[in-house]
Structure 1
Amino acid sequence: MHLIIVSGRSGSGKSTALDVLEDNGFYCIDNLPAGLLPELAERFLHTESLQSLVAVSIDARNLPSQLKRFPELLDEVRARHVQCDVLYLDADDETLLKRFSETRRRHPLTTEKRSLAEAIRDESALLGPIIDLADLKIDTTHLNLYQLRDSLKLRLLNKPEPGTAFLVESFGFKRGMPVDADLVFDVRCLPNPYWIPDLRDFSGLDQPVVDYLAAQEDVQDMYQDILGYLSKWLPRFAASNRAYVTVAIGCTGGHHRSVYLSERLGLALKTLLKNVQVRHRDLSE
């Protein structure tokens, strides 16, 4: 049995996550009372006719007392030898405010005495026990619906076997650093193809940029240093039973240097580790 627990603040994309999982064969339950988690796992484990792929949403609509018990409930589920991943989605406060304003939906925590902004803020504290135990966190601030779907498929469904799933992700600092990154490398000190007119419109995936960066000594030194660090320490992350690890490589715009290095690092790491994925957050810009 594979159980995915989806959580996050309201407006962060939980419904989209459940839709993606349902489209890919999961039996999905929205707004499950947290106290029913162990019983649900038990039923699915011992009833042959029931689905072996299950996803449930647990969020701020639960009673606070149930959310506080989440750590012990999760332990009970995993004690039954259930493969269980906890996904937590979030976005910055300004983005969540904008999403609620555009959809005119009511936030589950708003009252006559609690404004939308206060409800969004308070929700983080309420979900604290889940945040602390999340195996995978995805920041949806800069993701549209289609990008979120692609990200969920990449991280949750493109995991061929149990073990740590590694993601090497390029990004541009001008759009902010990924809050879900475990390791961040800043490569803005390297020669920038953007300032070469003939290369500006290409990306780090295109041969002219690849050739230019491959010829730069500083770029090769940076690559070797980062690869040496990751080759040594990522296996130790895996040995500590981490389900997901994100390595973020950042340059100014996220189009050239970070893309080139992420591709090279991902290719090299695939020879050392079982499950390595590469994603370019800002390449569609």
Structure 2
Amino acid sequence: MNTPLSPVLVIVSGLSGSGKSVALKTFEDLDYYCSDNIPVNLLPDFVRNVLGQRHEGAPRRLAVGIDVRGRNDLSQLGQWRKIANDYGIDAHLLFFEADDDTLLARYADTRRRHPLSQLGLSLPEAIAHERTLTAPLRNEADAVIDTTRLNVHQLRRRVITEFALAQQGKLSLLFESFAYKRGVPAEADFVFDARVLPNPHWDPELRSLTGRDREVREYLDTQPEVIRYVAQLQDLLDTWLPKLGSETRSYVTIAFGCTGGKHRSVYLAERLARHARETGWQDVATFHREQD
């Protein structure tokens, strides 16, 4: 699997409280070089400096957050995106929004101040004014994501599958963990049941940890059933995943389920994702539905 020839720029923008920070953190987890609150007038030089590096290991994927905190004329962005594309940069703009009632509720829950509140505006007035200020960005966006009915986990998964992995140009892999008590992910292409494996939940010292923690990994790494299970999964996926590359799809979801979605399924998703990277897959992500 190869990375795209052209460097990729994803501009993350939208209304305050709509999920921009979650989206940007998700891109960061997917090995995008990320920076938040970049003024529009500084964006061209910043992007050239980051994506113009030629040494080995230099970033080829960049995600930046742009919003009203930059205090710039946001209408400049459309013109600069065209220049970026002319330079051979594959530039995308994602705009996040939510309805007023949802934004008001989120601010009430977090007790954060709106970035425009320093203008002496009430929260409803600040939200309305921000919609006006960011209208040029919304009009220029490649995709407008309404997060009104999305929780953090749903938003993160949508960013991973629809915008991050889908931009890679070749088949990408998403390893997902879940709890059977909350249902099997409808979008999964492969589903494996980890409930047949020893459960760290019954060890009081491991119960509060997850499959990401060293102690849980070390416990499962020494279990004969787990060793055999992982070996068989690796052989199965190594054999059949490459054959899906000719299909008209951008990513494949491999899901692992256990009782609570905390230990065994998380462990397997992380371990198989690591194995995939070690065997040459470059566009690999993990998503832990009950943990992320």
Q: Counterpart of 2:48 in structure 1: which amino acid?
A: E
Other-structure match for 1:103:
110
Other-structure match for 1:54:
62
When residues 52 and 97 of structure 1 are mapped into structure 2, their CA distance, relative to the original with a 3 A threshold, is same
Tell me how far 1:77 sits from its aligned partner.
1.5
* Residue from 99, 112, 120 that aligns with 2:127: 120
Other-structure match for 1:11:
17
Other-structure match for 2:88:
81
Aligned CA RMSD, in angstroms, stands at 2.9
In 2: Cα distance, 1:113 partner to 1:160 partner: 41
In 1: Cα distance, 2:34 partner to 2:41 partner: 17
Higher relative contact order (CA 8 A, sep 6+): 2
TM-score (norm 1): 0.56
SS at the partner of 2:91? strand
Kindly indicate whether the alpha-carbon contact (under 8 Å) linking 1:92 and 1:141 is maintained by their aligned counterparts in 2: yes
* Residue from 100, 107, 132 that aligns with 2:139: 132
Ranges of 4+ aligned residues in structure 1 off by more than 6 Å? none
Other-structure match for 1:238:
none
In 2: Cα distance, 1:69 partner to 1:15 partner: 22
In 1: Cα distance, 2:66 partner to 2:79 partner: 15
Tell me how far 1:274 sits from its aligned partner.
5.4
Other-structure match for 1:36:
42
Q: Counterpart of 2:90 in structure 1: which amino acid?
A: Q
In 1: Cα distance, 2:168 partner to 2:16 partner: 31
In 1: Cα distance, 2:252 partner to 2:138 partner: 24
Tell me how far 1:44 sits from its aligned partner.
2.7
When residues 111 and 156 of structure 1 are mapped into structure 2, their CA distance, relative to the original with a 3 A threshold, is same
In 1: Cα distance, 2:29 partner to 2:251 partner: 24
In 2: Cα distance, 1:140 partner to 1:120 partner: 15
Aligned length: 176
In 1: Cα distance, 2:125 partner to 2:28 partner: 32
What is the identity percentage for the equivalent residue pairs of Structure 1 and Structure 2? 37
* Residue from 30, 44, 61 that aligns with 1:24: 30
- Greater shift in the superposed pair: 20-29 or 45-54: 45-54
Describe the superposition over 1:65-94 as per-residue Cα deviations: whole angstroms up to 9, x where unpaired: 3x1211112222122110111111110000
Kindly indicate whether the alpha-carbon contact (under 8 Å) linking 1:41 and 1:82 is maintained by their aligned counterparts in 2: no
Other-structure match for 2:77:
70
Q: Counterpart of 2:32 in structure 1: which amino acid?
A: F
Kindly indicate whether the alpha-carbon contact (under 8 Å) linking 1:6 and 1:86 is maintained by their aligned counterparts in 2: yes
Tell me how far 1:96 sits from its aligned partner.
0.2
Kindly indicate whether the alpha-carbon contact (under 8 Å) linking 1:31 and 1:62 is maintained by their aligned counterparts in 2: yes
SS at the partner of 1:132? helix
TM-score (norm 2): 0.54
